[in-house]
Structures are given as C-alpha cells and as structure tokens.
Amino acid sequence: MRAKAPASSANLGPGFDTLALALTLYVEVEVTEADRLVVTAEGEGVELPADATHLAARVAASVVGHDRLAIHVRSEIPVGRGLGSSAALAAAAAAAAGAPDPLAVAAEVDGHPENAAASVAGGLVTATTIEGQAVVTPLLLDANLAFVVLIPDRTLPTKEARAALPSSVPHKDAAFNLGRMGLLLSGLADATRLRPEAMHDRLHQHQRAPLFPEADALLAGLVDAGASASCWSGAGPTLLGVCLRSAAAEVRARGEALLSAHGVAGKALVLEADRQGLTVVA
C-alpha cells in the first residue's frame, strides 16, 4: 500500500503547539510484505540510515506487528527544518502499513498533534489532546493566500529548539498571544484583514532567536517585500511569509535576495496550502 502526506508549518506565530497549516511539499511511503526488512529512500532524508532505526520502518513495524517489510520513502520535505517532516512521514508510513488511525500514530510519534493533524486533514487546523486523543478542528483559510518559505541549508533539531524555551511564561505574555491569535485567525480566513502584528509572539520565537540570529531581519524583510505577515515555521529554521497570491512571486524573489544579503545559504519557495491531506492508494 502507498500513502502520501503533505508538509506542515506549525505555530504560525502566536498559535504555539496549537495551529498548523498543510503545505504542498510531500512525502510518499510504500509498504509491502517481504522476507526481511528492506528500507530504501530517495529525495530529502536520503542520508538517514536505511535500517530498522528509520522512522518509517519503526512506524510500519509497530502497525503491522513485525518488520518483514519492504519500505520505500520518497520525500520532498527537508528534514530538521521546521516543516513537519517527521509527522508527515509517520502519518504516511502508518497509513501505508494499514493503521486505522494514522493521526493517532503520528501524533504519538511527534509528541504533540498539530503537525500530524495538518498532514492528515489538510488545510489550516487547530489541534489539541483531550483525554489522550488528538482532537482536530479545521479552520477557514482564504483561497487568495499563498506562502513563501525561506529554507536555510542549516538544520535546527526540534529537541534543541524546545530546550530554548522557559518552563513558565508571564500572564501578560500568554494574554498577548491569545489576542494576536484572534487577529491571525481572522486574517487567515479573510486576507484583507491580515496584518503583520497578527503573527507576533512572545512564547517561542524571541526565545529561539539566538539559535538563528538572522531570523528577525529575514522576517522583517519578508514583510517589507510584500508579505502580509511572517513567522517561524514550527521550530525553525524555516521562515514563513503569508502573502496574497498576486504578491507571492515577488516576495519569493526578494526572499532569495534576503538570504543572500544576510549570508544564509538556502532557498525560497512559493507553496500553496494543501487542502487534501493524507491520501492512500491501495
């Protein structure tokens, strides 16, 4: 069986561990019965060990109950860049192995549900865990929006990014984020209402800035280039600019120039929102 899942951008500024958006980069996993475990890969993540430690192998074997499987992974999603590669891979591997609830498998692997929820459901979602179960709600997303991602060549492991966060936050900072998240959801539903302040945040982006010192200037540069708002994508280092479709090509071009001007090796892409989510081919 073969399954395909999209990348995702989580947090989206103030929506820490809550909001995520599916984007048009994909990972495809094929799982078939075999005499022994064979893992092959192409595209992004090809450098990962092709053995039982590979995430796709671990997920598929846990679903099937044995590892006598041939697993092939084909991915467009950069690893360790804040685009939900592990959640998308886990969802696709679980579905390809026949899991009845790929979202539950992927959310458990990832440790929080929003990336997995976007990869499974598609579109813009909010997700949380209630009594051990991932609960996902789709949200309105204006069709006039497109998304520019600046993807540095450097990685930023999620574990390292999590370690940069404090164990508690002031009440006023939590309230700040709640207010900005209301603005953000309104603007994502109706692009004419989206403004740069909607993606401002006090819970994670500033705290992670020392891990990617150029980020603040690049985020400001995306807005100056014509993006309606900008933020870190997940735990970074990828940065996301939310644009009107008509402005996306210019923002992408200027985004590449920004990377070069700040000495950051990488690339800029224009992506659409994936609205289909996880797909399975028997």
Nearest to 33 by CA among 73, 4, 71: 71
In 10 A of CB 122, how many CB atoms?
23
User: How does residue 49 score in pLDDT terms, banded at 50, 70 and 90?
Assistant: very high
Per-residue pLDDT tens digits for 5-37: 999 999 999 999 999 999 999 999 999 999 999
Specify the pLDDT at position 21: 98
145-271: which CATH number, 3.30.70.890, 3.40.309.10, 3.30.1490.20, 3.30.450.20? 3.30.70.890
In 10 A of CB 53, how many CB atoms?
10
Nearest to 190 by CA among 233, 228, 232: 228
Looking at every residue in the chain, the average pLDDT score rounds to: 95
Nearest to 118 by CA among 243, 236, 238, 10: 10
At position 269, the amino acid (one-letter code) is: L
Those residues whose C-beta lies under 8 Å from the C-beta of residue 164, and which sit 6 or more positions away, are: 207, 208, 210, 211
Q: Which residue has the tokens 């475990």?
A: 37
In 10 A of CB 257, how many CB atoms?
13
Per-residue pLDDT tens digits for 93-115: 999 999 999 999 999 998 889 99
Specify the pLDDT at position 122: 98
Tell which phi-psi region holds residue 263, choosing left (phi > 0), alpha (psi between -120 and 50) or beta: left
Tell which phi-psi region holds residue 179, choosing left (phi > 0), alpha (psi between -120 and 50) or beta: alpha
Per-residue pLDDT tens digits for 180-221: 999 999 999 999 999 999 999 999 998 898 899 999 999 999
Confidence (pTM) = 0.95
Whether the pLDDT of residue 232 is over 90: the answer is yes
Calculate the CA dihedral of residues 128, 28, 280, 151 and round it to 10 degrees: 40
Max alpha carbon distance in the chain (Å)?
58
Domain-by-domain residue ranges, the chain? 2-139, 145-271
Average pLDDT of the segment spanning 44-60: 95
User: How does residue 158 score in pLDDT terms, banded at 50, 70 and 90?
Assistant: confident
Nearest to 1 by CA among 55, 46, 56: 56
Helix, strand, coil shares, percent, the chain, to 5: 35, 30, 35
Q: Which CATH class is domain 2-139?
A: alpha beta
Nearest to 19 by CA among 219, 185, 168: 185
Instruction: Tell me the C-alpha distance between 67 and 106, whole Å.
Output: 18
Percent of the chain at pLDDT exceeding 70: 100
Cβ proximity of 25 and 6 under 8 Å = yes
